[in-house]
Amino acid sequence: MQASERIAVVTGAGSGIGRAVALALLGAGHAVALAGRRRDALEQTASRAASGTRALVVPADVTDEESVAALFACVTAQFGRLDLLFNNAGMDAPGQPIDALTLAQWNAVIGVNLTGAFLCARAAFRQMKTQTPRGGRIINNGSIAAQVPRPRSAPYAASKHAITGLTKSLSLDGRGFDIACGQIDIGNAATDMTQAMSKGVTQADGSVRSEPRFDVRHVADAVLYMANLPLDANVQFMTLAATAMPFIGRG
């Protein structure tokens, strides 16, 4: 590891926001462990990085405690420390009324979005607390659903509201160990997951309307800004959304 190089883990790095953030970190000189369930998708991300950058592909399931432990052990063995975790892996359930949701659908979303974020944050915290020099930064990917939910989105909205609580708790617990924690809440970044929004999304009044999106590179730039702050400064919460989307005053 070079003296000035910082080490990052990005979960959900095989597509969308995770891929964009991982590539931005690599481009800024970080060594980045690309974590996700699908090796082929992670390798595609790594193949898009500029030559000379250090991307480590580590297939991992964030809902599995042993898999998460193996991910962070691999990072420590390869790089010796950890400076940044971008807790990004997430999923949604089909939009439907809560009385139509199955327990399996609820558990799947909570397992990835909340339990997965907890397991990764716990592993990162343990490493950052004990390494020399100690400390590091955890950035949680929330969502504007952490503030204002969409209709028929109970599992996703509940998980993202809980991420806000996790962010605040990590911020408090990390103070004595030079561990900073912040959260970025994103609305309508242009990824495969949001493609349907340009065709039409159900609104709070039951109507269906198309919504604007914005280039995902702006998310990568925002996370990179948060990541590059010294540990005595922190973006606690950032909201980044398409300017004309129905967020302010939703409902």
Predicted confidence pLDDT, tens digits, the chain (251 residues): 444 689 999 999 999 999 999 999 999 999 999 999 999 999 999 999 998 899 999 999 999 999 999 999 999 999 999 999 999 999 988 888 899 999 999 999 999 999 999 999 999 999 999 999 999 999 999 999 999 888 888 999 999 999 999 999 999 999 999 999 999 999 998 887 777 787 888 888 888 888 889 999 999 999 999 999 999 999 999 999 999 988 876 65
* CA atoms of 70 and 206, how far apart (whole Å): 45
Residue 134 makes CB contacts below 8 A (sequence gap 6+) with 128, 177, 178
Residue 76 makes CB contacts below 8 A (sequence gap 6+) with 82, 127
* CA atoms of 96 and 99, how far apart (whole Å): 8
* Contact yes or no for 171/234 (Cβ under 8 A): yes
DSSP annotation of 6:
-
> Annotated catalytic sites, by residue?
156
* CA atoms of 133 and 81, how far apart (whole Å): 9
* CA atoms of 15 and 94, how far apart (whole Å): 20
Q: What is the pLDDT of residue 246?
A: 86
Q: What is the pLDDT of residue 3?
A: 41
- Please classify residue 2 by burial: count the beta carbons closer than 10 Å to its beta carbon, then call 0-12 exposed, 13-18 middle and 19+ buried: exposed
